Structure 1
Amino acid sequence: MIEIVPVRGHELVTYADELAALLVDTVDGGSSVGFLAPLDREVAADWWRERAGAVDAGRLQVWIARDAERVAGTIALDRARLPNARHRAEVAKLMVRPSARGRGVGRSLLDAAERSAAGAGVTLLVLDTESGSPAERLYRSAGWTECGSIPDYAGDPAGVLRPTTLYYKAIGTAQALPGR
C-alpha cells in the first residue's frame, strides 16, 4: 500500500538520502529532471537538504509516496513569488521509483499537488517535461493541456539537448489579483 504524505522542511532533511537514491535512479534511468549522469548520491542528497528552507517558508511543497519499505516517489509544487503571479504554481520533480511504476503512484502524487494548490487558492498550474517522455501520457490523461514545445531546452542525463513540452492546467476560477 502506497501512502502520499506532505513533507515539512526537517522531514525533507530526514528523507534526503532516500530522495537522493530516487533522484539518482531517475537520472540513471534516462529521465530529464535537471541533472546529468552520473549523479553523485551525496550531491543529490545535498540538493534535497537545500530545499528545506523553502519548504518551511511555504514557497515549496513536497510530497512523498511511501510504502512499508521506502520512498516510492515524490513531487514538488513551487509557488510563484512575484505579486502578479501568485495565482499560479509550477509542478516539479515528479519521480516514481521504477519498481513502483504502473501502480498509480505518479497519478496519486499529481492529484495531491493539484488538491493542495486548489486549496491554497492557486488557479493555474504549469509544468514542463521532456518531449516524447512517458510522463507526457500521464499529464494528458490527468487533464493537462499541452501549450507548445521548445527545441533544445535542456540536456538529458547524457547531456544531449532535447525539446521540452510545456503544459498547464486550470484548477479553479481565475480572479483578478488584488490591487496595490
Structure 2
Amino acid sequence: MAQLEIIALDAAQTQARMPELAELLHACVHDGASIHFVQPFPIEQAAAFWRDKTLPGVAGGGRVLLAALADGELAGSAQLDCDTPPNQPHRAEVCKLMVHPRHRRLGLARALMAELEVQARQRGRSLLTLDTASGDKAEPLYLSLGYQEAGRIPGYAWDGRGEKLQATTLMYKAL
C-alpha cells in the first residue's frame, strides 16, 4: 500500500514539480477529464497552464495548490482560488481537482477536498463554490461531501474531445 500525503505547494515547490504537474494534467485530459481543455492536448500546453495560470496565483498568495503524493510521486492535485472580489472575502472557488488515472480509487480526491476545506477555513473562507460537468463522475463525489447543487447551465463548454457541448453543474458548500 502506498504512503499517501497531501501537501500545499509554495511557488518554489510548484516550479520544481512542473514536469510532474504537466504530466498529471496531460494524463487526466487524455483519460477524458472535463477540466477546461480539449484534445488534442500536447504536454507543452499542460506545462503552460501550470506556468502561466497557476504559478502566478500561488506566488501571489491568492491560490492554494495542493498535491497528493503517493510514495513521494505526484498522484493528484486540487486548487483553491481565494482571489475573490472585495465583496466576497468569505468565498473561495475549488478548481482543477484531478487524480492521475493510475492512482484512482485510493481516496485521494476525498483527501484533497478535505484539505481544501482546512485551507479555506484557515483563510477565513466560509463558502466554497465549484462547477463540474453535469453527469460527470465527480458530481456524486461533491454531493457526498456535502456540496449542494445551485443549478445547471446547458451548453456551457465543449467536452474533452471537442465533440459536443455539455452542461455544467454549479455547486456550493457552506463551511
Identify the TM-score tier after normalising by the shorter chain: over 0.9
TM alignment of 1:5-20, pairs within 5 A:
5-20=7-22
In structure 1, the residue matched to 2:169 is 165
Q: Does structure 1 residue 45 correspond to structure 2 residue 36?
A: no
Please state whether the residue corresponding to 1:25 is helix, strand or coil: helix
Q: Within 5 Å, which residues of 2 pair with 1:76-155?
A: 76-155=79-158
Question: Shift of the alpha carbon at 1:9?
Answer: 1.0
* Matches of 1:46 and 1:34, distance apart in 2: 14
SS at match of 1:90: strand
Aligned length: 171
Deviation of 1:57 after TM superposition, in Å, equals: 1.1
Deviation of the 1:69 alpha carbon: 5.1
Alpha-carbon distance in 1 for matches of 2:12, 2:48: 13
Give the SS at the match of 1:84.
Answer: coil
Q: Which runs of 4+ in 1 moved over 6 A?
A: none
Partners in 2 of 1:83 and 1:145 — Cα distance? 24
User: What TM-score do the two structures reach when normalised by structure 1?
Assistant: 0.92
* Structure 2: 5+ residue stretches without partners: none
